[in-house]
Amino acid sequence: MADPTTSSPFDLVILGAGSGGYACALRASQLGLTVALVEEDKIGGTCLHRGCIPTKALLHAAELADGARVAASHGVLTSFEGIDTAALHARKDKVVAQLHRGLTGLIGQAGIEVVSGRGRLVDTSTVEVEGEGGTTRLSGRTVVLATGSYARTIPGVELGPRVMTSDRAMDLAEIPQRVAVLGGGVIGVEFASMLRSFGAEVTVVEALDRIVAAEEPSISKHLTREFKKRGITTLTSTRVASVEADEHRAVVHLEGADPLEVDLVMVAVGRGPRSEGIGLEEAGVTLERGFVPTDERLRTDVEGVRAVGDLVPGLQLAHRGFAHGIFVAEDVAGLDPRPVDDVTIPKVTYCDPEIASVGLSTEAAKGAGHDVETVTYPLGGNGRSIIRGTTGSVTLVRAKDGPVLGVHMVGLGVSELISEAQLVVGWEAHPEDVATLVHAHPTQGEALGEAAMLAAGRPLHAHA
Ligand code: NAD
């Protein structure tokens, strides 16, 4: 068979149209670059179709379910009767479809050449795409790898009708009675929280000695306590020995703890890079445990090949992907943008209570050689938080006589406080500066202002 003809060169050929890939394509086209965007599934990737958006739609429903449970204690006569899964998924799918339509429209208007099919690097400047209409070869002055990540499983644990990762757990036809969530990281605690709100009995099994181990230890402690109050069991320092499952139920055998008999096992033990079978090693791109290492300008060790998003070691977050994509487009266009720094990327976990953090933890700040001061302002002193019925805290880590290095928050509603926290950390503001800014009353944001006042030695609703 004749070799497929190769396109005339695009400025960028992007492999993968998830957060990193499509952001790169949009920014590049704004800057006048020619772009081919290769995607084997739907534009929007994991975040839009199997991650951030659908799960947050479900978590919003979970919040409404809990609202219905407590409404009567606020004087509103209603009660929680159960979950209509068809309506639940219809609403979630509608949100996804609306965003997908908008995104597809944007990509179309930007004049980006979308090529459907599975792409593979055949040399350092050519991507071959196997699509329905046959094979195409796209030549790019720069090739951007943006193939993202997949949900890992535990070796020896087979997925099946009763054992699944987040990919399928977000489309459950019915709410299981008993669930074991394997992994107490971000996905684990979000699903545990959601399924509990929907009425399931949930046990989280975590190998490390605390859940959400990437956060401040005090946050792990608070979440564990609040989960317990909500009836969610957490087993830490507990390893999974094996899982037995059939069509109807599953048994999780644990090392040093009683087996868990459940209706659903949800595996949430991290996400791995999608770097296999796309010609990377053959083209000379170095892989490290499957990830694509890059320099700070997101260049791989092969001239003309960049990588963005979850493929690149570091935080696996959609907004990091957006930032990477924008950075590469601007760098290729010669704008000399500032590299993306993982430390100033905000992290939000949408369990109940929520977690939101940015910057260095106390330990990391000490490790970086700072003389550190940490203050904590409890949401128990914040009017709006009391009205909303949440406890929690805002912890501020500062360099002694210096800027705020990190902000770490837990409590219902703190996800929306992250914008101010990231400005404070990103702009290296001192608590003394933040303390003089007037925060609206009554808001949960006041807790950030109060934490800054406390760190500046002039607390209002707290003791120094
Ligand atoms: P994670 O790395 O956050 O957590 C995985 C957890 O599983 C870890 O705590 C690990 O110790 C534990 N674990 C691993 N093997 C285990 C075993 N055999 N038994 C018990 N525990 C085990 O990974 P995740 O929760 O799967 O999330 C994947 C990525 O997706 C993360 O980087 C996360 O930040 C990202 N994500 C972010 C959001 C958000 O921003 N809200 C939401 C979902 C996912």
pLDDT of 299 over the 60 cut:
yes
Closest CA to 50 of 252, 274, 213: 274
Which DSSP string corresponds to 195-246?
Answer: HHHTT-EEEEE-SSSSSSTTS-HHHHHHHHHHHHHTT-EEE-S-EEEEEEE-
**pLDDT at 236 (0 to 100):** 98
Asked if 127 and 47 touch (Cβ cutoff 8 Å), the reply is: no
Degrees to nearest 5, angle at CA 290 with 289 and 291:
95
Which DSSP string corresponds to 4-17?
Answer: PPBPPPEEEEEE--
Q: Is the CB of 240 under 6 A from ligand 1?
A: yes
pLDDT in tens, 171-220: 999 999 999 999 999 999 999 999 999 999 999 999 999 999 999 999 99
Q: Is the CB of 59 under 6 A from ligand 1?
A: no
pLDDT in tens, 98-130: 999 999 999 999 999 999 999 999 999 999 999
Centre of ligand 1 to C-alpha 166, Å, is 11
Centre of ligand 1 to C-alpha 89, Å, is 24
Mean pLDDT (whole number) for 63-78: 97
Atom of ligand 1 nearest to the CA of 52: 42
Q: Is the CB of 316 under 6 A from ligand 1?
A: yes
Centre of ligand 1 to C-alpha 188, Å, is 7
Closest CA to 408 of 222, 194, 237: 222
How many percent of the chain have pLDDT more than 70?
99
**pLDDT at 361 (0 to 100):** 97
Dihedral of CA 308/425/208/57: which sign?
negative
Centre of ligand 1 to C-alpha 69, Å, is 29
Q: Is residue 104 packed enough to be buried (19+ CB in 10 Å), middle (13-18) or exposed (0-12)? A: middle
Q: Is the CB of 58 under 6 A from ligand 1?
A: no
Centre of ligand 1 to C-alpha 109, Å, is 36
Using pLDDT thresholds of 50, 70 and 90, give the confidence band for residue 7: confident
Mean pLDDT (whole number) for 47-69: 98
Going by the DSSP 8-state scheme, the letter that residue 31 receives in this structure is T
Centre of ligand 1 to C-alpha 213, Å, is 9
The total of other beta-carbon atoms located within 10 Å of residue 460's CB is 11
Centre of ligand 1 to C-alpha 284, Å, is 30
Q: Is the CB of 46 under 6 A from ligand 1?
A: no
Residue 430 or 6, more confident: 430
Asked if 349 and 315 touch (Cβ cutoff 8 Å), the reply is: no
Report which protein residue has its CA nearest ligand 1's atom 44: 187
441 is an active site residue: yes
**pLDDT at 6 (0 to 100):** 85
Closest CA to 264 of 159, 401, 416: 159
pLDDT of 233 over the 80 cut:
yes
**pLDDT at 5 (0 to 100):** 79
- Provide the b/e sequence for 282-306 (b: ≥16 CB within 10 Å): ebebeeeeebbebeeebbbebeebb
Asked if 124 and 283 touch (Cβ cutoff 8 Å), the reply is: yes
Helix (H) or strand (E) holding 264: strand 264-267
User: 367 to each of 185, 361, 363, 370, how far by Cα in Å?
Assistant: 23, 10, 6, 7
pLDDT of 3 over the 80 cut:
no
Report which protein residue has its CA nearest ligand 1's atom 15: 269
Closest CA to 377 of 447, 460, 440, 463: 447
Helix (H) or strand (E) holding 164: strand 163-164
Report which protein residue has its CA nearest ligand 1's atom 30: 316
Ligand 1 pocket test target in 186, 210, 355, 418 with most atoms within 8 Å of CB: 186
Closest CA to 336 of 18, 17, 31, 14: 31
In whole numbers, what is the pLDDT of the chain averaged over residues? Answer: 97
Report which protein residue has its CA nearest ligand 1's atom 31: 316
Relative orientation angle of helices 19-30 and 318-332, to the nearest 10 degrees: 30
Q: Is the CB of 320 under 6 A from ligand 1?
A: no
Instruction: Report the predicted TM-score, pTM, of the whole model to 2 decimal places.
Output: 0.97
Active-site residue, selected from the candidate residues 49, 253, 430, 441: 441
Going by the DSSP 8-state scheme, the letter that residue 2 receives in this structure is P
Using pLDDT thresholds of 50, 70 and 90, give the confidence band for residue 2: low
Q: Is the CB of 169 under 6 A from ligand 1?
A: no
Using pLDDT thresholds of 50, 70 and 90, give the confidence band for residue 464: confident
Distance from C-alpha of 273 to C-alpha of 250, rounded to nearest angstrom: 28
Report which protein residue has its CA nearest ligand 1's atom 43: 187
**pLDDT at 8 (0 to 100):** 85
Mean pLDDT (whole number) for 270-297: 97
Using CA atoms of 221, 224, 226, 229 in order, give the dihedral in degrees to the nearest 10.
-130
pLDDT of 462 over the 90 cut:
no
pLDDT of 4 over the 80 cut:
no
What pairs with residue 406 in β-bridges? 359, 397
